[in-house]
A and B are shown apart, each in its own frame.
Chain A
Amino acid sequence: MIRPSEKRSILNPFSKLAVVLFLGVTLLRPLDDKYSLFIVLVFAVFYCLYNMPIKGLKTTALYISVLLILGSGNINELHPFFKMFASVLVVVKIFYLPVMAGKFFLLTSEVGSIISSMDKLKIPTSFSIPISVMFRFFPSFREEHANIKMAMKVRGITAKKPLRYLEYVAVPLLILSSNLTDDIAKAAETKCIADPAKKVRYRYVGFGVVDIFFIALMLVVRIVGSA
């Protein structure tokens, strides 16, 4: 039997998703600034574990600067134009934690491990097949779009004429995609996607101590820190 790859990811994709869910609650029941900063720092540490220290640094720096600007309190004296800008910062602060967690999930999870963990959680195939197809189709969609855009540019149809552009780019794209659907379905069928047998995946996804630690830490901070 072929062994699945020994290379493991640090966190299970679904524990990242679970954390996105907890942090979504911060919209209704806000966290104290200290605790939310702590959460941002934990994420920065995990970014470092995933070999993306710069990303972690950026996330932290952005959050601290938002806190500092809003905390300085002299926004009232600003010109109305800058006040508009400040209100955008308020929105940024409210949505920061869940959006950050979501970005972390997207940047650090491989497609293979997401699909593999969907198997493990026994998500019905009527959901897991479309999701895998989405990952497969996205790059070819971009490619086809670029090709059609080029072809239409030659014929003088550019984004400057939005209505014509929409029709003459969207329609070929939809037709192409419909044809691609048939191809993908055939390819998937030859790889026995509908076969109920147990699949061997390239990536192994487990649920380890780090996952428990990560989720527990977030839950504790969430409960302790609710203002």
Chain B
Amino acid sequence: MEKKLKVKDLVTIGVFTVIYFVGMYLLGMIGMIPILFLIWPTLNGIVMGVVVMLFMTKVQKPWALFIFGMLPTVIMFAMGHTYILLVHTTIIMLIAEFLRRKDHYQSFIGTALANGVFSMWACGSLLQILLVRERYLEMTAQMVSEEYAQGLSNLVTVPNMALIYLGAFVGGILGAFLGRKMLKKHFEKAAIL
């Protein structure tokens, strides 16, 4: 099997990035209600995991997942997110790529694990808030009220962040199972794969 990315694979990456980005953005709309933003990574993992699974089955080559994962972040970066997100996603994608490499891009378990790790990148935008926490709380306490800031500081903490990461991972795994079901139900029948 050819192991180098060809033009067709690169085009696939571009097309799937658009689908992923649009879907992710629409799901992100639930973040308008502040509390729901915390389950967004999980939801994103479940729903968009199907797209990532289809992508991973279509392109079973080194570095494809890495490039695919970096592109939404690059768009978000161009839209005004910070370098924190960029660094965070690079680390996550390297881990996901490594997991896929270990089982030679074939088995379901490896792909599912990679999907779980992959969906963790969405936590990066929340991580930004955690990193500016002190300043944000200070400003909120000044502008709004002490109690409100206190409530926020109880919400945005390191253990809660870990929970969000765990949620994203579990979401990604669930998305992988859902993706496999969808692949069997629809895509193999349509001879897409």
Contact = CB atoms under 8 A, between A and B. Distances in A.
A99 B80 contact: yes
Q: Is the interface of B mostly helix, strand, loop or mixed?
A: helix
B79 A177 contact: no
Contacts of B145: 76, 83
Q: 10 tightest A-B contacts by CB?
A: A133-B14, A102-B80, A99-B80, A24-B82, A130-B14, A185-B8, A129-B10, A98-B80, A130-B13, A185-B11
A99 B79 contact: yes
Query: A interface, how many residues as a size bin?
Result: 35 or more
A25 B70 CA distance: 21
Interface of A: 17, 20-21, 24-25, 27-28, 30, 70, 75-76, 83-84, 86-87, 89-91, 93-95, 98-103, 105-106, 125-127, 129-134, 136-138, 141, 166-167, 170-171, 173-175, 177-178, 180-182, 184-185, 188-189, 193-194
Interface in B1-39: 5-8, 10-19, 22-23
Interface of B: 5-8, 10-19, 22-23, 47, 50-51, 54, 58, 63, 67-68, 70-71, 74, 77-84, 128, 131-132, 135-136, 139-140, 143-145, 148, 152, 182, 186-187, 190, 192
B12 A126 contact: no
A75 B143 contact: yes
Given A102-B80, A132-B14, A133-B11, 6 more contacts: A94-B135, A99-B80, A129-B7, A131-B14, A170-B50, A175-B186
